[in-house]
Structures are given as structure tokens and as C-alpha cells.
Copies of this chain bind each other. A is one copy, B any other.
Amino acid sequence: MNAEIIAVGTELLMGQIANTNGQFLSQELARLGVNVYFQTVVGDNESRMRQSLELARSRADLIICTGGLGPTQDDLTKDVLAAYLGRGLIMHEPSLRYMTEFFESRGVVMVDSNKRQAHMLEGSDPLPNDTGLAVGIALTQDGTHYMLLPGPPKEMKPMFLNYGVQWLRGVMKDEVPLVSRMLKFAGIGESLLEDRLLDLIRGQTDPTIAPYAKEGEVAVRLTTRAASEREGLAAIAPVEAEIRRRVGEFIFAERDVPLETIVLELLKTSGRTLAVAESCSGGQLSDMLTAIPGSSQTFLGGVVCYSNALKNKLIGVPLDVLEGEGAPGAVSAQAAGLLAEGVRDRTGADFGLSITGVAGPDPSEGKPVGLVFVGLAERGKAAETFELKLSGNRETIKLRASKSALTKLWQRLKTV
């Protein structure tokens, strides 16, 4: 099966938002074994939407539209598809009831235009919206499958994952499904990883091997077609074993989770707690950790010791280490070690993890942009420190410093 994704919305064409729905759906469709040959973005304009539908029908088996299901006069997607397919619009009563209750419970009058959000095409299947008001729909006509999803990602994603995927599996039931496995890596860069696996990647036939990098992490996805999950994983196993033989020490997960999830799990399993001292990363490491629900069980918090004064006042690093002629300075292995030990001791955590460096854009203490020190101090032990040379702009260096610090902690935890 091949698909085309049509994102509807003038705000996309004005550049006010990026078409992240296109990315999300492409990823999920790849996982289902559906090839996406085109993504299109079109404005809230009837004739151009119709033109896009016609074109997509001429070249795709599945057309997924996102956006334009809301209550306003700009929201045209259902009307345009209904006219295009020659079907009427009918009311989806459960959605209408939910909406009526929703407005009543808030003491707000529901205006008529809101009811449009409960519209379906005649003969279509409803896709419930658990996080919003507009109902989605799916239908098949003349051998082409159509799916309409809302534009806001927080509505589109759960609708697609919880209902859309199931609907698609139904219409794809005669196709051999894809089975895939994700390996996630820490402590090895994308190019080195590719280099170590180059012959496998080049010689790949089945399973396919797709390496990729995003947000400071590197992953490899192994994919095959098989009648069952078990058969698929059996076909993947020998290739996975070869990858593990070569670079297994860097694998932190066999599913698509960030490194912080695994670090928090390892801490929880071993019943230990973490506190951090962040200088150049400026709170990003804490922000990452606290993005994971339940992190409060093992992550106590920490100090964003951006200024030298705070490194001294809040963590107790002696000022003569940080400043003055001949001092190692704030960007030094010594400072990183004292920060890690200090934050561990002042918070009572089992682990203290520290980051201090130069995020740029300008050098600091005569030290170059990208020089970063990480300190890791376990209870009862002296801190270990690591020197990193990171590349990129300020934003990238903050991110890479945070992920590198997590990597050092993960390497310690997994050997325990």
C-alpha cells in the first residue's frame, strides 16, 4: 500500500507552524509498512484542497488529511471530501452528545458552528477524539482509503494511534505486516556507529537496517515483513546479534525511549537517588529528567549554578578553585568533581552529576566553545570526571552536554 499525506491549513503555508503531523504520520506509516511517496500542504481553500485530493487519488491507495475539522468557517475538510466523493454529511450522535455535555459542564453556550465538529460523511467509520471535540473519520471508496484527522497534534496523535491504526490494519489485513525492532545507542556518535556497521547497512536486504540520529541520540531500526511478531523477530535476531557483537556495549534500549527513561529506571531498580549541578547546560538536564512522569521518585532535583557565586554559595565549591590567577577555573575537571560531590552531599542523593563548560557563542576563561567537563560522584566515593569536546551552536552544546552526562551515569549504573 502507498499513501499520501495532505496537511490542510493556511497557518502551515504561512510558516507559523511546521508540519510535524506529516513527520509523525510518515513515521507511523513506515512502521506499518505503508510507503509514503508524497506529503502535501495546502491552505484552507476549497478548490486547492479538491485539486490535492484529485491528485492524491491518482497516485495513492491511502489518503490521510490532517486539519480543518474544527468549528470555524475555515474548517472545510469534511465538506470538501463529502462533495468530492458525492456523499452527504450526517451527525455522529455520540460526539454531539459528548460535546453538548462538555459545553454544559462549563456553563458555556454551544453555538451551532460547534456541531460541525460532530459531522461524518455518510457511510464512514468514526474515529473517536479522546482529547478534543472534532470526530475523525475513515472510509473506502472505489478502492481508495481516506482518513481525516484533526490538526492539533495532541488530538491527531492519540486518534491515529488508538483508532486509525486499527482501522488501517483492517483494510490491510491481506498484506504481510512489518515487524521492526529499535536499538538505541549512547556513548557512540552517528558516524562511528555507521562506520562500524557499514558493510551490514550496504549489504542489507532483509531485515533492512536504518540508522538515524535525533536530539542527541543515535538509533538503528531493523525491519522485516512477517506473518507474526514472533516470526519477524526470529528473522531479525541474527542481524541484531551481529550488531550486538560489534557495538552491543553502547545499546541502552530495545525500544524508542530516551536515555533519561532508562537512567531513571536503573536508579529506581537499584533504589538510588540522583541530584545534579548544572552550569553550562543551564537546567536542560533537569528539564529532560523531569519530563518523564514519575521522575520525582528518584530525581531529587539540583542546582543550576550558572554563576561562580552560586557554585560557591549553594554547592560549596571554594572560590579559589573557580577564580583568580592560576586557579583551574569553573570550566575544569576539578570544578566538575567538586560540583558533583557537593551537590551529592548537600542534597543527600546517592549520585551527584555535574556539567560545567563553555556553551558559547563566546569563549570563557580563555577556554574554547564546546569544552565541557562532567563530574560523577557516587556516595562514599570520590568523583570521576570526564572531559568532552562538543561541536555545534549554544543550543546543541547544551543538549549534547546533558546527554553526555546522562551517558556517563548510565555507563556506571548498568555495570552495577
Interface of A with B (CB < 8 Å)?
11-20, 22-30, 35-43, 45, 48, 52, 55, 154, 210, 212, 214, 275-276, 278-279, 281-287, 289-291, 293, 295-296, 299-307, 309-310, 313-314, 346-348, 359-362, 392-395, 398
Contact = CB atoms under 8 A, between A and B. Distances in A.
Prevailing SS type, chain A contact patch? mixed
A387 B63 CA distance: 46
A347 B40 contact: no
29 contacts: A14-B30, A15-B23, A15-B26, A16-B212, A17-B23, A17-B214, A38-B42, A39-B40, A40-B40, A40-B41, A281-B290, A283-B283, A283-B284, A283-B286, A283-B290, A283-B304, A286-B286, A287-B287, A290-B304, A290-B359, A290-B398, A291-B394, A293-B361, A301-B305, A301-B310, A302-B304, A309-B347, A309-B348, A310-B347
Contacts of A299: 306-307
Contacts of A13: 26, 35-39
Contacts of A285: 283
| Total copies of the chain | 2
- Interface centre among A48, A284, A304, by most chain B C-beta atoms within 10 angstroms, is A304
Contact of A301 (B28, B212, B303, B360): B303
B27 A16 contact: yes
Contacts of A395: 291
Contacts of A210: 14
Nearest to A402: B287
Contacts of A360: 293
Contacts of A17: 23, 214
Contacts of A283: 278, 283-287, 289-290, 302, 304
A217 B42 CA distance: 25
A372 to B, nearest CB: 14
B347 A314 contact: yes
Given A19-B19, A37-B13, A39-B12, A303 B303 contact: yes
Contacts of A347: 309-310, 313-314
